Chains A and B, each alone.
Chain A
Amino acid sequence: MPIRTVMKANEAAAWAAKLAKPKVIAAFPITPSTLVPEKISEFVANGELEAEFIKVESEHSAISACVGASAAGVRTFTATASQGLALMHEVLFIAAGMRLPIVIAVGNRSLSAPINIWNDWQDTISERDTGWLQFYAENNQEALDLILIAFKVAENEKVLLPTMVGFDAFILTHTVEPVEIPDQELVDEFLGEYNPKYAYLDPEKPITQGTLAFPAHYMEARYTVWEANENAKKVIDEVFAEFEKKFGRKYSKIEEYRTDDAEIVFVTMGSLAGTVKEYVDYLREKGIKAGAAKLTVYRPFPAEEVRELAGKAKVIALLEKNITFSIGGALFQDFSRALINQKEKPILVDFILGLGGRDVTFKDLDEALEISRKALAGEEFEEVNWIGLRKEIL
């Protein structure tokens, strides 16, 4: 029987790891993710999780140990955030290039400087070109479910890519919410044992992993990561369907909310989606045709689903907790890419908000709405807007 209880997203992530039964976990403490290794330590100490937990001396070594373990052919898991993920950066590319299905739980946190421990998505967004798949959770249940889904997708033979699951710092990592812990038996059925076909370090069948590739082979190796990302699109849908059948919770790459006759659709990720749905209800009551959409899957980028969504809106307002300087948010770039060659396309307006843990309120969303309505009316508007800036201290 599944257990209905309450817990923080960090605990949900640790529970997901416990259910997935990785053989090797390597982690280093960092706010706001520290509770994940703490909880895992408890599971291991109590014999509830039979994993080797390597308490490494840095995140760089955490991911390196995961690569070593995964190359040796076992399921591996780690958790980190922010500077920790940035320290892993180099090895993230290597994990993807070596096609090792490692899963990382990330408590999405801002990057220094200034040092700040609170939520935005700059840490994972900055890793979007590493080849890793990226999922974003709206709540603690999603954090747990998406980690299980991540293992299943990552280990699929057509994918074999590492995957990170993001959930917002403090808003989720440290907030207690109702969570259903699925049955171990069902999870075992869902995930199965990890038996790698290609990555192992077995003296009986010695192979060489992590070679040098000259220009004659490098591009093809990179192409396979592209191809695997493309394959993942279909695999993710299949795994979502299987997950729903088994556990009763439905996931989709893009979850739409009241978009059917919407003129303005607010698009976001993570926990902000909850606020935005609430805001859409409020606008609908006022007779404003607004809708919302949440990207659960950010990499591979669900371009097809974005185009479908775009067909329903006149203006897409992108609400993002990340910034590419002199360009705008990552979603703005990615949506632009998905829509640029479409004959009919909505206007895109980009909103940078909630950086470094700044609360996103209805007042902020009103500001975004006002600019979006200008765009809708054919008036002049700024493409990239910083929302909720304290102009008085600038």
Chain B
Amino acid sequence: MAVRKSPITTREYWAPGHAACAGCGCATALKLATKAFSEAMEEKYGDPNAFAIAQATGCMEVVSAVFPYTAWKAPWVHVAFENAAAAASGVEAAWKKLGRKGKILAIGGDGGTADIGMQALSGMLERRHNVVYLMYDNEAYMNTGIQRSSSTPYGAWTTTSPPGKYSIGEDKPKKWVALIAAAHQVPYVATASIGNPFDFVKKMKKAAKVDGPAFVQVHCTCPTGWKSPLEKGVEIARLAIETGVWPLFEIENGDFFNIKIQAPGGGAKVKREGGRVVAIEFKKPIEEYLKLQGRFKHLFKQPEAIDEMREQIKAMWKVLGVDVTLPKPEE
């Protein structure tokens, strides 16, 4: 019988036994990210282990390094919540002086990146450190018990954006850190999703191989915070892509006029001009993505809020230079 070759290295840097929740999409992201990193380092330096990790406080930190245990098979350091990028800068500088080849991987959640770690991230990118910053975006402060962050999407329930008589839930549009990172004109910025692991791995490898800073924002499902079925993490993440909620793109050297958009799938019709994606006609309504998550349940009683969400998604795509049409569910 033919044995299928694993599409990715079987080396593990994120070992089983960590304490992440069942169905955690972020754990999947870290597993894939470190494998991708290892492949990139092997291809670039001939050494699959040529990397170290600096990680922000957050879910993936507390579940992976509880003294005297560790889930990390790579050199790893955690300092605090807001400074993974700064700590990574220091590690990178030290490696440079030690003559060590390789790349530093900084990891932070959406709170640790979009909010409290924004300044350190900007500094690291601006100074052109040879660091890949991976933002695992589960769209709220999950570690502290599901509070909204600036990366929480419009309409979402969190413990600090509860729907009520005077509230539809989170009332601000999602802040797209990838676009802010790209504005630093760094070599490589991408969004990715655990809903498309092949694309994610490809992007992580690309990020790891560029000389200089890179930023990858990966969409990760959080069944605990999203109130979604444990087994549907990848499916939900894929629906985010297919409905237009989560764009997959790459921006190199801050070139906003040549953003590379990945086709979303799900039957969406992509229109290109001169190789550039200029319009996407999505076929699946965002409701298909929303309905699988308890955090959006209340919106189904307020269809105007879902329409508002559609408008915000269109506006976000507009920034990417893409005109999108988003269908409403068939009556």
Evaluate contact between B89 and A65: CB separation under 8 angstroms.
yes
Contact of B21 with A by CB under 8 A: no
Q: Which of B75, B83, B92 contacts A60 (CB 8 A)?
A: B83
> If A204-B49, A207-B75 touch, does A74 touch B98 (CB 8 Å cutoff)?
yes
Contact of A210 with B by CB under 8 A: yes
The closest CB in chain A to the CB of B66 belongs to A212
Supplied contacts A71-B87, A210-B79, 13 more A-B pairs, CB within 8 Å: A57-B122, A60-B119, A61-B120, A67-B90, A71-B79, A71-B90, A72-B52, A203-B47, A203-B51, A206-B49, A206-B73, A212-B67, A217-B68
Contact of A225 with B by CB under 8 A: no
> If A54-B90, A68-B94, A69-B91 touch, does A60 touch B78 (CB 8 Å cutoff)?
no
Q: Which residues of B contact A55 (CB under 8 A)?
A: 127
Evaluate contact between B91 and A201: CB separation under 8 angstroms.
yes
Q: Which residues of A contact B315 (CB under 8 A)?
A: none
Evaluate contact between A206 and B66: CB separation under 8 angstroms.
no
Q: Which residues of A contact B54 (CB under 8 A)?
A: 68
Q: Which residues of A contact B262 (CB under 8 A)?
A: none
Evaluate contact between A57 and B73: CB separation under 8 angstroms.
no
Evaluate contact between B126 and A94: CB separation under 8 angstroms.
no
Q: Which residues of A contact B82 (CB under 8 A)?
A: 60
Q: Show the binding face of A for B, using Cβ within 8 Å.
A: 23-24, 26, 50-52, 54-58, 60-62, 64-74, 76, 90-91, 94, 98, 200-214, 217, 221
Q: Which residues of B contact A54 (CB under 8 A)?
A: 89-90, 93, 127
Main SS of the interface on chain A? mixed
The closest CB in chain A to the CB of B63 belongs to A212
Closest 7 CB pairs of A and B: A68-B90, A57-B123, A65-B90, A68-B87, A72-B94, A61-B86, A64-B86
Evaluate contact between B97 and A74: CB separation under 8 angstroms.
yes
Q: Which residues of A contact B76 (CB under 8 A)?
A: 201, 206-209
Q: Which residues of A contact B49 (CB under 8 A)?
A: 203-204, 206
CA distance A67 to B77 in the complex (A): 9
Chain B contacts with A in 85-107, Cβ cutoff 8 A: 85-98, 102
Chain B contacts with A in 47-76, Cβ cutoff 8 A: 47, 49-52, 54, 61-62, 65-68, 70, 72-76
CA distance A68 to B83 in the complex (A): 10
CA distance A24 to B97 in the complex (A): 8
